[in-house]
Structure 1
Amino acid sequence: MKKSENENKEQIKSDNLTERLIEAIVSGEYPAGSKISEPELARVFNVSRGPLREAMMRVESLHLVERIPHVGARVINLSLEKLTELYAAREALEGMATNLACKNITDEEIETLEILLARHQSHIEEVEGASYFYQEGDFDFHNLIIKASKNEKLITLLCGQLYHLVRMYRSQSPQTNARPEKALYEHVAILNAIKARDPELAEMLMRRHIKNSRLLIENELLEE
């Protein structure tokens, strides 16, 4: 019994550390391309090597960290090529998820999306509204639609593996040309198509919306 309790504690430590590492990488605290020292991480986070090793394996599985022969672990580099690949996958998969959401979404989930967009509108009108919407609110909207698809494979891929990479690109782009009003308008159009149970229109609008997001980040990276 005691061994089981210790294992549970180690698991909790690993779970918490994974989340902390993800946030540190996504936010740029550990910059893209920077080398990661596991002994240094163990010291900074005050954890043993066991939970740290497990947390690092999880972060690697999300493709936020890569291991280079004779170099060790490092944060992935951001590039236009990787951005294009990431958003091509996101556009196809999330378009499919939106199509399925039209067929599987509940009235309660639609109401939640309506309330969410109303809140986004009020945030945009505030001083920090654009920043909030660009970094967090957009993901809330997309995640709810993905989960409304009721397709567990799409949910795992989009809300897990791709989600943090997208956040990393978004968080570390300059954001000088953020377009919260236009993005909100596009979100409203997508939701209206979902409410009308029009899967083809909803998928087309979502794919176009994600393409616009990609072009925005591409322009930001090119201007750096």
Structure 2
Amino acid sequence: MSTISETSRGLVAERLAEDLRDDILSGRLQPGARLGEVALAERFSVSRGPVRAALNLLSEAGIVTIVPNSGARVRELSRADARALYEVRAALEGEAAMLAASRANGETAARFAALLDQHASEVAAHPEGAYLQGAGDRDFHLVIARMAENPLLLRYLAGELYPQLSLLRVKHRNVTGRGAKALHEHKRIAEAIADGDAEVAGLLMRRHIRNSWTALEAQLSEHVGEGE
């Protein structure tokens, strides 16, 4: 009976974590917002136990900060945090691109063509705007992470790094995107992966991530300090 109860509590915590994750990454809960256990328990009509477990899950994903004797808040990412994220992103996504190229097959090129054609029509309307790709199979980087066929790499990217990047975009949603430039870089990466050229795919992906960081860093609010 206890095992069933523990499983049920775990499922409730996961559901709460997913709901809160959506609120955070959509911007409905802004960086710095307090996440009180009592208020959340009342909102979701549950006890504080599942709420506490859900907040711990979000803390592990890097989008919630829990301070002993103070409580939980939506994480506020500093310029230093952002730089560290992009440094790790370049390494992990470079490896993902190389692995994806090594596993490319006859359907890879067509899959990328369909995805990037869709992105091209969206970017054409706002070439200097944010490159909003959508989620799941519409996200170029997530598609490559899945193509790599490495569950540990996918877990780090999809479960931890990408949510933190989304939180960063929530904080800086007014930063101008690279639009057409990013799309061109995506096309070159896709071609290298489809050709099975792992070395070039990894190089282009790391360069693409560095370009993205350079563009973001140049536009970050001047009041954001190194340790804020």
- Residue of structure 2 in register with 1:149 after alignment: 148
> Which moves more between the two structures, 69-78 or 197-206?
69-78
- Residue of structure 2 in register with 1:70 after alignment: 69
- Residue of structure 1 in register with 2:206 after alignment: 207
CA distance in structure 2 between the aligned counterparts of 1:122 and 1:98, rounded to whole angstroms: 24
Deviations 1:61-96 (A, max 9, x none): 111112223322222222110001111001011101
Preserved CA contact (<8 Å) 2:119 2:133 = no
CA distance in structure 2 between the aligned counterparts of 1:61 and 1:115, rounded to whole angstroms: 35
Preserved CA contact (<8 Å) 1:135 1:170 = no
Distance change (3 Å), C-alpha of 1:135 and 1:113: closer
TM (norm. structure 1) is 0.87
Distance change (3 Å), C-alpha of 1:72 and 1:94: same
SS of 1:119's partner is helix
> Which moves more between the two structures, 106-115 or 69-78?
106-115
Preserved CA contact (<8 Å) 2:100 2:147 = yes
Deviation at 1:125, TM superposition (A): 3.2
- Residue of structure 2 in register with 1:195 after alignment: 194
- Residue of structure 2 in register with 1:136 after alignment: 134
Deviations 1:153-196 (A, max 9, x none): 11110111111001111232133421221111110010011112
Deviation at 1:128, TM superposition (A): 11
Deviation at 1:143, TM superposition (A): 0.7
- Residue of structure 2 in register with 1:186 after alignment: 185
- Residue of structure 2 in register with 1:216 after alignment: 215
Distance change (3 Å), C-alpha of 1:106 and 1:42: farther
More helix by proportion, 1 or 2? Answer: 1
Structure 1, unpaired ranges of 5+: none
For 1:61, give the aligned amino acid.
E
> Which moves more between the two structures, 46-55 or 91-100?
46-55
Written as runs of structure 1 = structure 2, the 5 A alignment for 1:1-224 is: 4=4, 9-126=8-125, 130=129, 133-134=131-132, 136=134, 140-222=139-221
TM (norm. structure 2) is 0.85
CA distance in structure 1 between the aligned counterparts of 2:183 and 2:216, rounded to whole angstroms: 17
Deviation at 1:124, TM superposition (A): 2.2
Distance change (3 Å), C-alpha of 1:20 and 1:188: same
Deviation at 1:117, TM superposition (A): 0.8
> Which moves more between the two structures, 188-197 or 65-74?
65-74
The total of aligned residue pairs comes to 222
CA distance in structure 1 between the aligned counterparts of 2:212 and 2:102, rounded to whole angstroms: 25
Distance change (3 Å), C-alpha of 1:128 and 1:96: closer
Deviation at 1:8, TM superposition (A): 5.6
For 2:177, give the aligned amino acid.
A
CA distance in structure 1 between the aligned counterparts of 2:60 and 2:6, rounded to whole angstroms: 22
Distance change (3 Å), C-alpha of 1:128 and 1:53: farther
CA distance in structure 2 between the aligned counterparts of 1:156 and 1:39, rounded to whole angstroms: 31
SS of 1:74's partner is strand
Note the aligned Cα RMSD (angstroms): 2.7
For 1:151, give the aligned amino acid.
N
For 2:132, give the aligned amino acid.
Y
